């Protein structure tokens, strides 16, 4: 219930396939309110973003609106703008603190704005989380355990 996009193809400007209704009671996860437990938006690139000229960009904006269609959204905050060729596996995490004192309305969603041409490929999974689940992958050490 806290997912905006699940492997959503982003080839042109679009809203997230899901919105979150803030009037629905739900468990959004365990957190303790400190820096490790703040509510965040996570973005995970699940398919590499590509276009013919490699000039396209995707801006991701967290928005709020009084209707589920997000037809007149107010921007909570611009999260990130990334370029075509952003690789699958790239992850982003952002606090949802509003910019410029914007008040939350009933619905939250994301707007993916594609600029400088359309994309031929690229997918995102995004949602709300309390804590970051992210690990670094290091090269093999050369040791083997038997």
pTM of the model: 0.82
What is the model's pLDDT at position 118?
Answer: 81
Residue 119 φ then ψ, to 5°: -95, 150
- Tell me the per-residue pLDDT of 65-122, one tens digit each, with 9 for 90 and over: 999 999 999 999 999 999 888 899 999 999 888 887 888 999 999 999 999 988 899 9
d(CA 43, CA 128): 9
- Tell me the per-residue pLDDT of 62-76, one tens digit each, with 9 for 90 and over: 999 999 999 999 999
- The DSSP secondary-structure symbol of 39 reads -
CB-side exposure of 70: number of CA atoms within 13 Å? Answer: 24
């Amino acid at each position: 219930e806290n997912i905006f996009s699940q492997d959503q193809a982003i080839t042109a400007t679009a809203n997230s396939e899901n919105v979150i209704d803030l009037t629905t009671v739900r468990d959004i996860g365990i957190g303790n309110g400190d820096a490790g437990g703040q509510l965040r938006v996570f973005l995970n690139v699940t398919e590499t973003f590509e276009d013919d000229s490699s000039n396209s960009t995707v801006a991701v904006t967290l928005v709020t609106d009084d209707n589920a269609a997000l037809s007149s959204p107010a921007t909570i905050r611009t999260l990130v703008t990334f370029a075509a060729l952003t690789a699958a596996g790239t992850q982003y995490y952002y606090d949802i603190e509003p910019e410029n004192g914007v008040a939350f309305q009933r619905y939250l969603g994301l707007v993916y704005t594609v600029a400088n041409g359309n994309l031929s490929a690229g997918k995102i999974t995004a949602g709300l989380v309390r804590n970051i689940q992210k690990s670094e992958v290091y090269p093999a050490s050369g040791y083997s355990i038997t």
